[in-house]
A and B are shown apart, each in its own frame.
Chain A
Amino acid sequence: MADTAIPILEMKNVAKIYSQNGRSIEALRGANLSVRKGEFICLIGASGCGKSTLLRMAAGFETPTQGDNLMWGVPISGPGPSRGMVFQDYGLFPWLNVRDNIGFGPKSRGRTRAEIRDTVGRFIELVGLQDFADVFPHQLSGGMKQRVAIARVLANGAEVVLMDEPFGALDAMTRERLQDELVSIWSRTNLTVLFVTHSIEEAIFLADRVVVMSPGPGRIAHEHLIDLPRPRDIASPEFNVWRRLLASQLHSHHARRAG
């Protein structure tokens, strides 16, 4: 089924125009993005560049005003379990403990009790939260909450994981650890990841391909294949070359916007 010729996600010339108080705001103009199965893609750009809009479109939370938004060549009509979203603010259900948060998706889809227990057990272990199964979200640290959010979409059999600045609210140490773990999970599974960030370093560290977006109106400005071997060394000269290139591209947009 998974024909390598058909991209898992494909956006063809998508545009998004919001109208607000009679004024229309062009969030995204003529964006083309094609994602192959198993790819790790980072979307990077200043605020207002449409990176979150693009991600939310892939999730099915937004519909494009114009253009095609496809998964396996079929138009995306709404949110669904095949595309799991990890939000920056976690979006965990506060009334469910860790186990039941992870089991929420399987339960919604009518899995049996035994199946749910099995799946939850597997993914709770994957993110290392076995000892916190009965704990409620408000008792967890930000890093642990985000692990639950990741396990929750994986337990639901997501093919694509959409991540909207998932580590943006975490401290630097936790962020680095989660980045490592995410890469490790991704490399062991068949996952496709679309990851929004505003950190150049994070993008280069994680991605196979970095998509640079620019604001006013939001559009895709550059795409780069990051061919650095993994695990990546953020202190290496090669890493720095990428860092400098992306920084100059991001900043040149700022300059142009100001001018």
Chain B
Amino acid sequence: MTTLASDGDTAPARQATAWRGRLRPALLAVAFPMALLAIWHLATAGRPASLIPPPYDVWLELRDLAVGGINDDAYSRTLLTHVLASVSRVYGGFALALVVALPLGMLIGRVPLVRQLVDPTIQLLRPVPVTAWLPLAMIIFGLGPRSASFLVFLGAFYPILVNTIFGVRSVEPRLFEAASMLGCRDSAQFFRVVLPAALPSIFTGMRLGLGFAWVVIVVGEMTGVQTGLGAIIMEARQLSRTEIVISGMVVIGVLGFLSDQLVMLIGRRLLAWSPSHG
């Protein structure tokens, strides 16, 4: 809603409120992870027997992975390679899922014949966990990055599909009446009514799909892949380099977070009209 500032506010008072309004959530958001970090530090630091490295060791490892100069081993300065490999698989698989799931979802949602033909099969396949496809994917696509990309595709596919179907099916009937009495009929309604009305749902699906893509990438890269964050996590586990494992987790967390923020940013611009998005 548009709100107008009341005249009584003085400038400094407004500024103070603005500061409190922006700083408080940021402080609160940071407080909890800081506390977790402190507990982690207290529980692990100075105990050689601990299987979990303390936070400072992880930080050193992270720096070594990124820019080197600390351990100078096989992993030094390899972070960018792994990040790029994972990011390209995540966005590649996601883009492919988008290209397939969007038209398919719209067809299932709007064309009864397609719905009757395809929907039961999809409902049957959907409960199968994406990770359960890994062995089959390795047979079909071979050991390697293509299997990983396929899993990402599958992980992103279902949320996008299901939300697209929901979006195009739940358009308010009134809007079709409004469009047709204004002279927009039949197929023209698809682009001028169905698509924009379904956009918020489609967007939710994309956001969920991208989230799943990041979840699945690690599993996808765990076998037979040389590069990628999932690959180094698995490899480091076998070498008992737990600090690398945790570093990989941290990087995945940050990348997933950033990519979600990006989607949200696009969403806010595109869906400014929607009270629940704008």
- Interface, chain A (partner B; CB < 8 A): 59-61, 78-81, 83-85, 87, 89, 91-97, 104-105, 108-109, 135-139, 152-153, 156
Contacts and interface: CB of A to CB of B under 8 A. Distances in A.
B1 interface: yes
B273 A94 contact: yes
Most buried by B among A91, A96, A138: A91
Interface string B172-193: 0011011111111100100011
B interface, how many residues as a size bin? 20 to 34
Interface of B: 1-2, 174-175, 177-185, 188, 192-193, 196-197, 199, 272-275, 278
A74 B192 CA distance: 29
A135 B272 CA distance: 10
Given A91-B174, A136-B272, A139-B2, A156 B182 contact: yes
Given A87-B174, A95-B197, A95-B199, A108 B181 contact: no
Most buried by A among B177, B182, B183: B182
A139 to B, nearest CB: 6
Given A85-B178, A92-B178, 17 more contacts: A59-B177, A61-B181, A79-B180, A79-B181, A80-B181, A81-B181, A85-B181, A93-B175, A94-B197, A104-B184, A105-B183, A105-B184, A136-B273, A138-B274, A139-B2, A153-B182, A156-B182
A139 B2 CA distance: 7
Contacts of A59: 177, 181
Chain A binding surface, main DSSP class:
loop
A13 B50 CA distance: 90
Contacts of A89: 174
Chain B binding surface, main DSSP class:
helix
A108 B184 contact: yes
A93 B196 contact: yes
A109 B184 CA distance: 7
6 contacts: A61-B177, A78-B185, A79-B181, A91-B178, A93-B196, A96-B196
A105 B182 contact: yes
A104 B182 CA distance: 7
